[in-house]
Structure 1
């Protein structure tokens, strides 16, 4: 019976996938059986459809989708699953109160930093966190006015409780003691040496370069200096509650901190309009690792080692300053014009974490979420080292460590819950084509026990520095950007967008007109103090 080499190649690829065998050894066996010389094989780009690869084919052009490619298996937006506490019919959620409020159970004032208490998302009942389990009155799913402090004629505070009960279907009247939002001040030209503030009029909008669930990213030019920046635009209407506002403020703070590191995208300035928030950040024009992985499919080991080392330095910098990144993925690793990496997008960050501190927010991009998050455990910096392991695996193997054979053909296995089950329970199989050192570092980062994970022991980051996989890295020179990157993106100029997906760059560049009704519903006081100008970048601009 004649067996075509196409069938042999497919069967070899399938067997090596299921059995964890080296593909070259499998071909050697097939050649011996068929007793004929090797043909020229296109096997690298022709894995069978049911082997669920990250990049199944060669795209027709850089940045475009491959034939039969399911884009939902990557470029997934990061998410936060909100914590809800159910007690006696109430559904409580942690909230930050920007007015003086009192607990409906103990009548004491709710005070403190951050999200000080709980609020029922149905009846709007306010309680201390410590009191929420003691609430006896069942939730009626009707709005109950919160306990507030009212000022009497002498300016002294008195305790009062509104007795009216209002159906949730009825519109809530505006609070009488909330002053109307002030109109944005008209910006005038400032004298040299005075504190400069920016507005949308200072920038020319050039091109769309990215889009997420909350924001759009534009390439812009500062008219005064002709310098090119990226501008992240967030609609205030999408920042719907206290947690969203906290996350925007956290992202701003981390951007400010990141401005001092060579492998983190820094902040130029922040400003706002009645409808939007604007982050003006560094423009990194080499594209992201996801874009380049689509072209390369997998990276040589020395390339992956270089990127993993620079990412490690960036994460270590954040960790030393009490920040858990929590959203490491190919999309968020950018390449600059020289080929060095820069991490971007700090919307998932948790700040203020001291050594030994933990947090418990269920958040991240599904394919990169660490097992301890899925188990509902308290966690710390360990989740970033797990994500680095997933990303390094993708760079070396060209696929996710959690891809499931035939998942696309089985709807029950093509779900988020099934993916989480795989992350928690499946043994991660390291491709035999990788070196011993590469396999060792992957096993270290992808240890399901955070206490035993590489980078999480008593020596912390030094365990990564001293790992045999990174033996060839000169860490001090690397941090000073004195090591030549293994790959330099092809760029024809400062505005070259060849390394950005055309699905973004082909979009029209405009901001939708403001809707007065939407703006009227926005509490502008929540965004007070958002404006910011980086003094370091300002001094550089003044030297132009």
Structure 2
């Protein structure tokens, strides 16, 4: 062991400078992938060497070398190094901020272990839980207030056993990038308790566009230009960063206190796409599915522009793709029937629309993705911008949120709860226990 300690001391005298790792990287010692839930990882910012926390004590290479530890330098019992003075010195060096940063792979997926503390040091105890503002099958959305700053946030709490790690990582990456766009909901922090994952997000207190549309039923043409223009800017921001959204619908379009939009819910986003790249996953909101998705074909960024036109059509009337209510239309066949409607139904453009508005909506008449507005992978955004329907839009002012929104939400109190469904806001604020004894009783 003496020789081994001397080797470690010589090779790790200057610790590897560690920073965030690539989730597809592999440990240089055990060769297992480091992008897994539950693995703490060190990564060198100089030579990019990645090692598990459990393996870093076995690294015997100088920075810049890639050789694995040899049998002659590997300790017989790694746990015996805990009290070794050389190992203690290494851990001390690795803990200094200037030299390194310990990366928790669970935190990378919105997960921080039993303590419930994020890498930023935040946990559930740092927030006051005020109201329920939304709920899904496996998650609940809470209005919370940070105790130190009194700032309001929306906290999404999801059960860990229903978590898809890849989707969580994608969602977190998109949320982090979205924080720099005024038309996207961004991430404040994330952490985990023993049974749940928590995302702390921007709180948008004007409700969603669905709530507004239910009050108006049909909105003027000018309104149907303003909201799609801001959504267009949000899409362009995502597409420039290789992100396909795929989840446009009225209840995913939030309104802030002034009436500007913010897109939310990135669970269906696809990362890492170049302009001409395609993907093939069958997903999306049923009424907004592009024909190429319904046919099971490969598709690209054009499907987002298709969903935008369907949304515009919905704003001036009802969805162009809906199932007629009939007694013989069973739930079992409704999805297949809807796909058939998307691919085959004749779409009528309302006569009350202007020529420019009618021309932008005529895109839903053409099921060929190569002939749709925004189909050019390199000119999707410019083509939409230059369409006659948007010719009077000042895009610079729109991007800086200097265009006055057509509707300002009613914020009657400090929380803005009037803009959320009472079905949620009247719920008691607690997180359902997942204690095994309680589950067995149920």
Alignment TM-score > 0.5, same fold: yes
**Equivalent residue number for residue 297 of structure 2:** 377
**Equivalent residue number for residue 400 of structure 1:** 319
What secondary structure, in the 3-state scheme, does the structure 2 residue paired with 1:301 have? coil
- 2:335 aligned with 1:416: yes
Between the aligned partners of 2:366 and 2:185, the Cα distance in structure 1 is 29
Residue from 426, 436, 453 that aligns with 2:372: 453
The offset of 1:183, in angstroms, is 6.1
What secondary structure, in the 3-state scheme, does the structure 1 residue paired with 2:191 have? strand
**Equivalent residue number for residue 528 of structure 1:** none
Residue from 261, 267, 273 that aligns with 2:181: 261
**Equivalent residue number for residue 356 of structure 2:** 437
Between the aligned partners of 2:266 and 2:247, the Cα distance in structure 1 is 8
Deviations 1:431-454 (A, max 9, x none): 112221111111236632212111
**Equivalent residue number for residue 43 of structure 1:** none
Task: Extract structure 1 runs of 4+ deviating beyond 4 A.
Answer: 96-100, 109-114, 152-156, 185-188, 516-519
- 2:117 aligned with 1:184: no
- 2:197 aligned with 1:277: yes
Between the aligned partners of 1:251 and 1:186, the Cα distance in structure 2 is 19
- 2:157 aligned with 1:233: yes
Residue from 307, 311, 315 that aligns with 1:387: 307
Determine if contact 1:207/1:505 at 8 Å carries over to the other structure.
Answer: yes
The offset of 1:256, in angstroms, is 0.3
Residue from 322, 343, 347 that aligns with 2:263: 343
Between the aligned partners of 2:218 and 2:387, the Cα distance in structure 1 is 22
Between the aligned partners of 2:191 and 2:35, the Cα distance in structure 1 is 25
What secondary structure, in the 3-state scheme, does the structure 2 residue paired with 1:498 have? helix
**Equivalent residue number for residue 123 of structure 1:** none
Question: Structure 1 516/387 Cα, relative in aligned 2: closer, same or farther at 3 Å?
Answer: same
Between the aligned partners of 2:300 and 2:261, the Cα distance in structure 1 is 24
Question: Structure 1 513/112 Cα, relative in aligned 2: closer, same or farther at 3 Å?
Answer: closer
Between the aligned partners of 1:303 and 1:464, the Cα distance in structure 2 is 17
Between the aligned partners of 2:128 and 2:372, the Cα distance in structure 1 is 47
**Equivalent residue number for residue 198 of structure 1:** 122
What secondary structure, in the 3-state scheme, does the structure 1 residue paired with 2:293 have? helix
- 2:135 aligned with 1:211: yes
Determine if contact 1:287/1:334 at 8 Å carries over to the other structure.
Answer: yes
- 2:428 aligned with 1:508: yes
Residue from 320, 328, 342 that aligns with 2:248: 328
Deviations 1:115-173 (A, max 9, x none): xxxxxxxxxxxxxxxxxxxxxxxxxxxxxxxxxxxxx99989xxxxxxxxxxxxxxxxx
Between the aligned partners of 1:425 and 1:111, the Cα distance in structure 2 is 46
What secondary structure, in the 3-state scheme, does the structure 2 residue paired with 1:362 have? coil
Question: Structure 1 232/378 Cα, relative in aligned 2: closer, same or farther at 3 Å?
Answer: same
Between the aligned partners of 1:445 and 1:218, the Cα distance in structure 2 is 37
The offset of 1:516, in angstroms, is 5.3
CA RMSD of aligned residues (A): 3.1
Q: Which runs of 5+ in 2 are unaligned?
A: 1-22, 37-70, 76-110
Determine if contact 2:112/2:191 at 8 Å carries over to the other structure.
Answer: no
The offset of 1:361, in angstroms, is 0.8
Q: Which runs of 5+ in 1 are unaligned?
A: 1-95, 101-108, 115-151, 157-180, 189-194, 520-544
What secondary structure, in the 3-state scheme, does the structure 1 residue paired with 2:222 have? helix
Determine if contact 1:412/1:418 at 8 Å carries over to the other structure.
Answer: no
**Equivalent residue number for residue 308 of structure 1:** 228
The offset of 1:214, in angstroms, is 3.2
Determine if contact 1:310/1:478 at 8 Å carries over to the other structure.
Answer: yes
Deviations 1:403-446 (A, max 9, x none): 344x3333259711101111011122211122211111112366
Determine if contact 1:220/1:230 at 8 Å carries over to the other structure.
Answer: yes
Determine if contact 2:112/2:192 at 8 Å carries over to the other structure.
Answer: no
Between the aligned partners of 2:133 and 2:116, the Cα distance in structure 1 is 30
Q: How does 1:39-118 map to 2 (within 5 A)?
A: none
Between the aligned partners of 2:155 and 2:255, the Cα distance in structure 1 is 17
Greater relative CO (CA pairs within 8 A, separation 6+): 1
- TM-score between the two structures when normalised by the length of structure 1: 0.59
Q: How does 1:79-158 map to 2 (within 5 A)?
A: none
Question: Structure 1 490/452 Cα, relative in aligned 2: closer, same or farther at 3 Å?
Answer: same
- Alignment length (residue pairs): 344
